Amino acid sequence: MYSSSPARPKSIVLAVFRSVGFLVLLTAPAAAGSLHTYINERGIKVYTNIGVNRTDLPRQETRSATRAKPNPYLPLIHESAQRYNLDADLVKAVIQVESSFNPRAVSSKGCMGLMQLHPDTAKRFGVRDAFDPAQNIQGGVQYLRFLTDHFNGKLPLVLAAYNAGENAVKRYDGIPPYRETQQYVRKVTTLYQSFKSLSDRANSSPQLNRVVMPNGSVLFTTEGN
């Protein structure tokens, strides 16, 4: 013979039921719908469970009034990098060192635009207007792709050739003994590793925001992080 446990008050049981039900409702949309990805205007990979490129998504207020403005060239960089199978972070590092993202930059040697294309290089890869960001980036990425194939993916040689020309790298059978070129290889490599590290962290564990849309649907997205 055993004694039965005292009956739980109905109010407690109801509260527990409501809590469990709320958790189910909260997590169900994320589990049921597959996540889509796209690159937003800031060049950040966004995850969302409702379509892609949510222009109707309410924007979250930025935490700092001094937050940096979106880089307008990131979509062009990602598009060209994907087309020619290169890492966008490498392209960004090259542009940063070459021109600091100045599309009107001109060097003492006549190199032009974001990726500082020499007139001969621009002509070689079909760039008619080296000051047009889209053409400049595409031409520069094409040249990087050519150098990557030519030097079997050896990044130091690729960067040295981008700075000093592939003939100089061949002549010295390695990075030429030019101070400018050696510093260039170190700068771009360091910056590339930094960009790559930031991208890896951003893509490893995205934080989802829960937004109730005007039509009542629930949107889970990383937009606004």
Distance CA 51, CA 28 (A): 17
Distance CA 117, CA 45 (A): 29
Task: Please say whether the beta carbons of 133 and 113 come within 8 A.
Answer: yes
Neighbours of 181 (CB within 10 A): 21
Strand blocks (E) in 96-207: none
> Hey, which residues are catalytic here?
98
Q: Which long-range contacts (CB under 8 A, 24 or more apart) does 207-213 make?
A: 208/30, 208/47, 209/60, 210/26, 211/57, 211/58, 213/50, 213/56
With residue 146 as reference, give the H or E element that holds it.
Answer: helix 133-150
Encoded tokens for 109: 């040697």
